[in-house]
Structure 1
Amino acid sequence: MDVAPSGVALLLLASGFFAGLLNAVAGGGSFLTLPALMSVGVPPVAANATGTAALLPGYLASVLADRRRLRTAWQELGGGLAWGLLMAGVLGGVVGALALLLTGDARFRVLIPWLLLVATALFALGPWLQRQAARPHPGPLRMLGAGLGCTYGGYFNGGVGILLLAILRGQGLSDLAAANAVKNLLSTALTVMAVGVYIAGGQVVATGLLAVGAGAILGARLGIALVRRMPEAGHRHAVTGIGAVITVLFFLDPAWLGLSTS
């Protein structure tokens, strides 16, 4: 897609803004940043890596803005469990990012529609997942679930917020806002580690990094304000709708997303 430099900057700034807003509330930012970056010519793996890197400031802004609730939630979890979850985020981010680099552009291009479909399903099934996670499970199984969820986040990131919220509700955080605060911390931890791996692998490109990142910071600030006012169901339905549209577009393999195989 041929777009003037100013148009590219505005497109990426807007995608970063709304992605940061969605991520601060519950997740779904990758639905916007991945197609936006690919539409301006960034290869699939690099687009996923760069979009994740650009959203990192938004995650950090969310943690800082909600630090008081985070301290309360941390105490509610207890030191041992809280630090265990954070370690799962760190290790999961590294493992997932390494798996992405090993996938390669050709394979990842094929996987993208299916990953988006999984992420969309996660948003649609969010309440059911949280009910299932809230049932009694052995401690090691819960930590394994946290590790797998964070590994998924290091690989793709789309829908990881829903997974982490379900896991955290199952760890005893009954308050949604408190669980959301810890979710933002875990998302930050796994993303920091994943981005380090992406940079080492040469997959974070300058195109759009600053524009998407700046937009994500602004969006995250607004998202933290909205999370206290916006009904959970309203956000879930909105993100599910966005995810469904983007998923269909990727399955159709449109040329403007750089997915044409011809």
Structure 2
Amino acid sequence: MPEILLVLLAGVAAGALNSVGGGGTFVALPALVAVGLAPVTANAASTIALVPGAVVSAWVYRRELAPVGPASTKSLTVISVLGGGLGAVLVLALPSASFEAAVPWLLAFATLVLAFGRHLAKALGEALGRPLGMSGRAVLIGQFVLAVYGGYFGGAVGIMMLAFWGIGLGIDAAAGNPMRVAQLAAIYLSAAVLFLLASDALRTPMILGAMLLGAVTGGFAGAYVARRLPASLLRAVILATAVTMTVLYFVRG
């Protein structure tokens, strides 16, 4: 029961963080590893469990979705689904030792993006004096690369999306957040389908169910709470979690 409670609470936190600004992977993955799952299995289980929460959050934001520059909502979602699926294939196809060795460095990279991504996007925008004005094709190519990363690992992929759209198209982070949530749901959904078919995440149904329930609760509540809490406070909480988990991963491994 203590393990189930830990996973349930981690699911609530992960679902809420994803709906607010990203970073759910920093909570979900370490929690599942802590209760005994191998990193690859934990990655698959966290992706599967976070899908309903991401979908619920996207539903809350459904009336605020808008195209990303010249790329339509439909085309961007299709690209996210394809990229997320390819990322999941890479997780399953590559040796598990490769993923285990890469996790601390992926966490560190994602933490740096969380810490400095917004500042970098702002600095580049000011240096250019205007948005890049990317073509629809460029937007879709960039989105595909991000979706592959999201299907493989996913840490801070939402922040990367907002930074990419901000630098290339001048889209404000607040205005782009509803679409970020929708694209996260698309990436997680396609990756989760493959993980359900080919991974051993279903061998621990109680753990998976606890995180899934928590993520749905957190995703629904987080999407509403996000509109009321200061953005600076939310970013600080996510960043503190990311730094802590990254340090713990390097210490343990």
TM-score, L = length of structure 1 = 0.86
After alignment, is 213-222 or 231-240 more displaced? 231-240
Distance 1:37 1:199 in 2: 16
| CA deviation vs aligned residue, 1:192-246 (integer Å, no higher than 9, x gap) | 1101111221232325111011111111122112221223232222211111111
Q: Tell me which residue corresponds to 2:42.
A: 47
Give the deviation of 1:173 after TM superposition: 6.6
Do 1:45 and 1:203's aligned partners in 2 also have CA atoms closer than 8 Å? no
Which deviates more, 85-94 or 168-177? 168-177
Aligned pair partner of 1:174 in 167, 171, 175 = 171
Match of 2:52 in 1: 57
Structure 2 counterpart of 1:145, from 142, 146, 152: 142
Q: Is the 8 A contact 1:168 1:183 kept in 2?
A: no
- 1:27 is paired with a residue of what secondary structure? coil
**Contact residue 4 and residue 206 of structure 2 kept, 8 A:** no
Deviation by residue 1:50-73 (Cα, 9 ceiling, x = unmatched): 011101111011011111112xx2
Q: Distance in 1 between matches of 2:86 and 2:132?
A: 28
CA distance in 1, matches of 2:99, 2:250: 13
Tell me which amino acid in the other structure corresponds to 2:233. Answer: G
Gaps of 5+ in 1: 1-5, 254-258
Counterpart check, 1:246 vs 2:245: yes
- Among 124, 127, 135, the residue aligned to 2:115: 124
Quote how far apart the aligned CAs of 1:138 are. 3.7
Please give the alpha-carbon distance, in whole angstroms, between the structure 1 residues aligned to 2:170 and 2:181.
Answer: 14
Tell me the distance in 1 between the aligned counterparts of 2:243 and 2:193: 30
TM-score, scaled relative to structure 2: 0.89
Distance 2:108 2:83 in 1: 21
In structure 2, distance between residues paired with 1:129 and 1:145: 17
State how far apart, in whole Å, the 2-side matches of 1:207 and 1:126 are: 36
Gaps of 5+ in 2: none
1 CA distance for matches of 2:161 and 2:15? 17
Q: Give the corresponding residue for 2:132.
A: 136
Q: Which stretches of structure 1, 4 residues or longer, exceed 6 Å deviation after superposition?
A: none
| Range 49-58 or range 230-239, more displaced | 230-239
Instruction: Measure, in 2, the Cα distance between the counterparts of 1:84 and 1:159.
Output: 22
Q: Cα deviations across residues 5-41 of structure 1 (Å, max 9, x unaligned)?
A: x111100000000001100001101111111111111
- Deviation string 1:134-175 (CA, Å, 9 cap, x unpaired) is 731542333221111111100001111101122333464734
The residue that corresponds to 1:256 in the other structure is none
Contact residue 124 and residue 237 of structure 1 kept, 8 A: no
Instruction: Work out the CA distance in 1 between the residues paired with 2:200 and 2:167.
Output: 35
The answer to whether the aligner puts 1:90 opposite 2:78 as a matched pair is no
Contact 1:55 1:213 in 2 (8 A): yes
Task: Give aligned pairs, total.
Answer: 245
| 1:1-262 → structure 2 map (5 Å cutoff) | 6-70=1-65, 73-74=66-67, 77=69, 80-131=71-122, 132=124, 135-139=131-135, 140-170=137-167, 172=169, 174-205=171-202, 206-253=205-252
1:222 is aligned with what amino acid? A
Aligned residue type for 2:98: R
